[in-house]
Amino acid sequence: LNFISFGNQETVDGNHCSCKSQIKNLRELAKLFEVSLKLTVPDEPNVEPLIEPAKFGDYQCNNAMGLWSIIKGKGTQFKGPPAVGQALIKNLPSSEMVESCSIAGPGFVNVVLSAKWIAKSIENMLIDGIDTWAPTLSVKRAVVDFSSPNIAKEMHVGHLRSTIIGDTLARMLEYSKVEVLRRNHVGDWGTQFGMLIEFLFEKFPDTDSVTETAIGDLQMFYKKSKLRFDLDPEFKEKAQQAVVRLQGGDPVYRKAWAKICEISRNEFAKVYQRLRVELEEKGESFYNPYIANVIEELSSKGLVEENEGARVIFVEGFNIPLMVVKSNGGFNYASTDLTALWYRLNEEKAEWIIYLTDLGQQQHFHMFFKAARKAGWLPDDDKTYPRVNHVGFGLVLGADNKRFRTRANEVVRLVDLLDEAKDRSKAALIERGMDKEWTPEELDQTAEAVDTVYADLKTNRLTGYTFSFDQMLNDKGDTAVYLLYAHARICSIIRKSGKDIDELKKTGKIALDHAAERALGLHLLQFAETVEEACTTLLPNVLCKYLYYLSEEFTKFYSNCQVNGSAEETSRLLLCEATAIVMRKCFYLLGITPVYKL
């Protein structure tokens, strides 16, 4: 749980996270134990069932020990936590879900689910579709603020991580029936535009005719104009006036600004297309018309103070104040973010706003979150909605353990990185003979981005991860290639049976008699609770881990249980099909597109 950090009080550790009691499959079990608790300790009506997945057995109920410490002084009939546990078992309403219960250790109640019930749940999913296994979150609308590169600057690996993690979180929330506003908070406003526009006028007096190819590399253009700005005081002066004109709405300056944005936007679009990520641009400039009012509101609440010519908000726990109006009267990153938050809460009526940037920006987010709490926009605690979270991630490191850069010490261009990853993936797939099974298009599609995406999502290191193509493509480890390969193999088992799987789904029955069958079945059933956990903790790697274990459980099943030609063929083919369906849903949620033949 290191890799993602949360807003100030929003630290999530295994115990604190509220997901435990919400998890879908556990809910039914929790209901049973709720009844039992009421019967066992009628004088303690407020005790909530504590249920979690168990190491031994399937699930466990952990109430007995805590209950004991509450009731032991009150003249209880029980002799200790195990006796409380026994009573919980005795009072548990009978249900087709539970096979048996037993006491372990100091009083844990181990629950074994009924194999019949697991099988039935899988049969139902095969008929009604995997969407019936989607968790339901209590939130209706969320904003995911992700990717968010800056105009005229290169999109770098940090933006890639933001894009990939943000897209996956958005997909998981969408799957959980949350309406997600996917926001690209592009850096398209600020003083740098004065210099860019002035430089554009200088190079291309006829701005209308400027094309992308004329400017060429926009980043180079940025660098050159910056150089000019730093070295030539006259140019600097002009650039500063240009900002005033732009912000004042001068149509000529507006047009030049729009041109520059458009060129960048087209560049960004190429990356989004390759990653198959959709998001809606509402850049910093969008919020500009609202800033003055928002600052006014904050001032009227007494939050804003004068400080060395600037206007600032002091927030507890930070040595420096949050600057919201610069000494020259201009607005900045923080004023824009406060305004965007105001807009998202009041105009867009979002209940949960999630931001993805590298950890370097953590302080910025924590400061303006606090300011918003002070203004009464957000509740003081982090469990009640509306809620905000900063999902930070570590740097991407090169093999030398330093910031991932090219040999020339330049920021690695995203397109180059994706190109190289793709070439290498393709070579790896061909080496595995996949070119004989797949068409060139299918090969191409599989190679595109999947490895970069998966390598990123599975990590959970606060300090970032080491970027390594070799690691990414290792087909024995926890990699996208391995998982895609596992999935393709399952599809081919089904294909080779020669059976019409859709027909089997309608009438076929699943039996989970072998231990390996049962283990696979149980793991399949845990899909929904895993997605829910990944959503509530904002940790996509939880889903990666699940997917990896799924392929392992499948391998164990397949090496122990003969499928084709066996007496249990129908049941086992259905298990194969269910595994493939769940795997595909995981791929989809992780933004990976598998290629397979039916």
Cα 285 to the chain's mean position, in Å?
A: 26
For residue 336 the two structure tokens come to: 């824009």
| Token pair for 269 | 């679009």
Q: Which residues of 557-586 are buried (b: 16+ CB within 10 A; e: fewer)?
A: bbeebebeeeebbbbbbbbbbbbbbbbbbb
Q: In this chain, which of 63, 150, 163, 332 binds ligand ARG, going by CB under 6 A?
A: 150
Tokens found for residue 162: 């933001």
CB-nearer residue toward ligand ARG: 204 or 290: 290
Q: Applying CB under 6 A, what is the total number of residues that bind ligand ARG?
A: 10
Task: Pick the closest to residue 336 from 352, 350, 322 (CA basis).
Answer: 322
| Site for ligand ARG contains 332 (CB under 6 A) | no
Which residues 26-65 are close enough to bind ligand ARG by CB under 6 A?
none
- Per-residue mark of binding to ligand ARG, 395-434 (x: CB under 6 A): ----------------------------------------
Q: Which span (144-152, 380-388, 492-500, 513-521) binds ligand ARG, by CB under 6 A?
A: 144-152
Closest CA to 457 of 223, 169, 254: 169
Positive or negative: CA dihedral 575, 579, 580, 585: positive
For position 187 contacting ligand ARG by CB under 6 A, the verdict is: yes
In the complex, what is the shortest distance from the CB of residue 150 to ligand ARG, in angstroms, rounded to a whole number? 5
What lies within 8 Å, CB to CB, of 136 at 6+ separation is: 24, 176, 177
Q: Judge if the upstream peptide bond of residue 386 is cis by omega within 30 degrees of 0.
A: yes
Q: Which of residues 456-475 bind ligand ARG (CB under 6 A)?
A: none
Q: Which stretch binds ligand ARG (CB under 6 A): 77-85, 145-153, 172-180, 471-479?
A: 145-153
Stretch that binds ligand ARG, among 2-10, 148-156, 244-252, 397-405 (CB under 6 A): 148-156
Question: How near is the Cβ of 452 to ligand ARG at its closest, in Å?
Answer: 19
Least distance in angstroms from the C-beta of 59 to ligand ARG: 39
**Closer CB to ligand ARG, residue 155 or residue 550?**
155
Task: Name which position in 154, 337, 351, 456 contacts ligand ARG (CB under 6 A).
Answer: 337
Candidates 142-150, 303-311, 397-405, 533-541; binding stretch for ligand ARG (CB under 6 A): 142-150
For ligand ARG, the closer of residues 120 and 265 by Cβ is 265
Residue 171, phi then psi, degrees to nearest 5: -60, -40
Which of 206/280 has CB closer to ligand ARG? 280
Binding string to ligand ARG for residues 339 to 358, with x set by CB under 6 A, is what?
Answer: -x--------------x-x-
CA–CA dist 505, 243 (Å, integer): 65
Shortest gap between Cβ of 183 and ligand ARG (angstroms)?
Answer: 8
Is residue 530 a contact point for ligand ARG (CB under 6 A)? no
Q: Which of 40, 110, 148, 332 binds ligand ARG (CB under 6 A)?
A: 148
Could you say whether residue 185 binds ligand ARG (CB under 6 A)? Answer: yes
- Residue 368 in contact with residue 337, Cβ under 8 Å? yes
Stretch near ligand ARG under the rule CB under 6 A, chosen from 143-151, 293-301, 444-452, 549-557: 143-151
- Which H, E and C letters describe 392-418, residue by residue? EECCEECCCCCECECCCCCECCHHHHH
Using an 8 Å Cβ cutoff, are 51 and 30 in contact?
Answer: yes
Decide: residue 400, CB within 10 A, 0-12 exposed, 13-18 middle, 19+ buried.
Answer: exposed
- Does the protein bind ligand ARG through residue 145 (CB under 6 A)? yes
Residue among 161 and 185 whose Cβ is closer to ligand ARG: 185
Pairing outcome for strands 304-307 and 280-281? unpaired
The residue with its CB nearest to ligand ARG is 148
DSSP letters spanning 462-518: TT-EE--HHHHH-SSSS-HHHHHHHHHHHHHHHHHHT--HHHHHHH------SHHHH
- Binding residues vs ligand ARG (CB under 6 A): 145, 148-150, 185, 187, 337, 340, 355, 357
